[in-house]
Structure 1
Amino acid sequence: MSISISKTKSLTISKEPIRFKLALNDQPIEQVMSFEYLGIIASSSRNTYDEVKAQVNKAARVSGCLHSTIWKNKCMSITSKARIYRTAVRPILTYAAETRADTSRTKRALRTTEMRTLRAIAGVTLWDRQRSSEIRERCDNMPDVVRWSRGRRREWRQHVERMQDDRLAKAAYKEKPNTTRPLGRPPKRWADSWTSSSQDIE
């Protein structure tokens, strides 16, 4: 197997930028702070907000393209529009949500984008001062995007637990760090996104 040096990048996971020299056949490999792979933005600081923000922008663009033709179409029922949202917009909004830990910022970004679309589907605006629960009920009882993602995350956890012990995902799930934790508040962990302590709506 041959490796392309120009297409290969290296990344170090750390709170503070760390210079890491890696070479292959005496040719240095470029070190980056973040890179995009299969639609996912991996960063050295494990900042999931940039990844969620990129997906939010993509989902907002798709929803904007459907605004005049679908959301404002008076010949279509709200149920049909809600199904189109589930099919065309929400998969973009929640892509790879099973494998990341949500924070308060990412939850707020997801809910804001979803409610903007659901208000367009229901034909209401912020000036109408309707509760989000009422709008979700009108839109075919649309579940909250954060709670829906949390359910998908639990399903992925169960899938990993059924894997063989030699699988890489199972090994990463069972592995425990053997070093001391650095000072400062630890980042939100993936396991904290599906345990009972994360049942709140925030």
Structure 2
Amino acid sequence: MAETLEELGEMLTDLNDASKQVGLKMNMDKTKVMSNEHVSSLPVTVGGVTIEVVDQYPYLGQVIRLGKSNFDKEVARRIQLGWAAFGKLRHIFTENIPQCLKTNVFNQCVLPVMTYGAETWCFTKGLIHKLRVAQRAMERAMLGVSLRDRIRNEEIRRRTKVTDIAKRISTLKWQWAGHVARRADDRWSRKVLEWRPRVGKRRVGRPPTRWSDDLRKVAGSRWMQMAGDRLGWRSLGEAYVQQWTTEG
């Protein structure tokens, strides 16, 4: 990460040189450059190779984007991967429902795929709704029912006994937020929470949802200090999870 493309080029060149000294080689095909709107577009060259400039790219299994609605594509991708995992296990879900419910296959094999990286998402009602719609469709497929059967969601959930996806991702995010806030080292995860950019003017209209907005709604503006009290933070977490399981 750098403030200018020139600085970024120098950092990558240094990394490339240091890698060669220990017998390693950078994969230029997998190395990408992404910048925000405040940076002028200039080519970044490392070892005679011009690095590709992209609007998004997968990093550690998650699609990284900048700007508004930057998690929409990642959520859509998570839903798609969830259906792929569900499809591989469809014969278990449809042919042996009692055993499937007893071993909680859905919670162990499908839900983790759909919620991977959820700790970093900016939650909105629309995002939660998309995930819940996909989960309910999978639950109906497990039971062999359709919307035309007019069975209430509460009854379907009682039969499948799967964990509400809104509850799972809100729990994960709250736990991760507390973990990061309590860190006393100099890692990036803590730095980005305290970073306050001052470049350019704010766009006209409603500002995009920030990662900590829903945390502040429950714990207040001093939520990072409050996270130091583990018991108090755990208690507030119940209200945070309730916020998304009822309103989402």
Interval of TM-score (by shorter of Structure 1 and Structure 2): 0.7 to 0.9
Gap runs ≥5 in structure 1: none
Aligned to 2:169: 149
Distance of aligned partners of 1:75 and 1:24 in 2 relative to their CA distance in 1, 3 Å threshold: closer
User: What is the deviation of 1:58?
Assistant: 1.1
Distance of aligned partners of 1:22 and 1:185 in 2 relative to their CA distance in 1, 3 Å threshold: farther
Q: For residues 56 and 102 of structure 1, what CA distance do their matches in structure 2 show?
A: 15
Q: 1:190 aligns with which of 211, 220, 225?
A: 211
Percent sequence identity over aligned pairs: 28
Gap runs ≥5 in structure 2: 1-17, 20-25, 219-239
Q: For residues 88 and 55 of structure 1, what CA distance do their matches in structure 2 show?
A: 13
Q: Tell me which amino acid in the other structure corresponds to 1:118.
A: E
Length-normalised TM-score, structure 2: 0.70
| 8 Å Cα contact 1:78-1:121 kept in structure 2 | no
Q: Tell me which amino acid in the other structure corresponds to 1:49.
A: D
Q: 1:19 aligns with which of 16, 41, 53?
A: 41
Q: For residues 130 and 186 of structure 2, what CA distance do their matches in structure 1 show?
A: 37
Aligned to 1:37: 59
Q: Give yes or no for the alignment of 1:138 onto 2:159.
A: yes
User: What is the deviation of 1:100?
Assistant: 1.1
Deviations 1:84-121 (A, max 9, x none): 00111001101100111123332222111111111223
SS in 1 for 2:98: coil
User: Highest Rg: 1 or 2?
Assistant: 2
Aligned to 2:72: 49
User: What is the deviation of 1:19?
Assistant: 2.3
SS in 1 for 2:212: helix
Number of aligned residues: 198
Aligned to 1:60: 83
Q: Tell me which amino acid in the other structure corresponds to 2:175.
A: E
Bigger helix share: 2
Length-normalised TM-score, structure 1: 0.84
Which runs of 4 or more aligned residues in structure 1 lie more than 4 Å from their structure 2 counterparts after TM superposition?
A: none
Q: For residues 133 and 196 of structure 1, what CA distance do their matches in structure 2 show?
A: 28
Aligned to 2:121: 100
Q: 2:102 aligns with which of 64, 77, 80?
A: 80
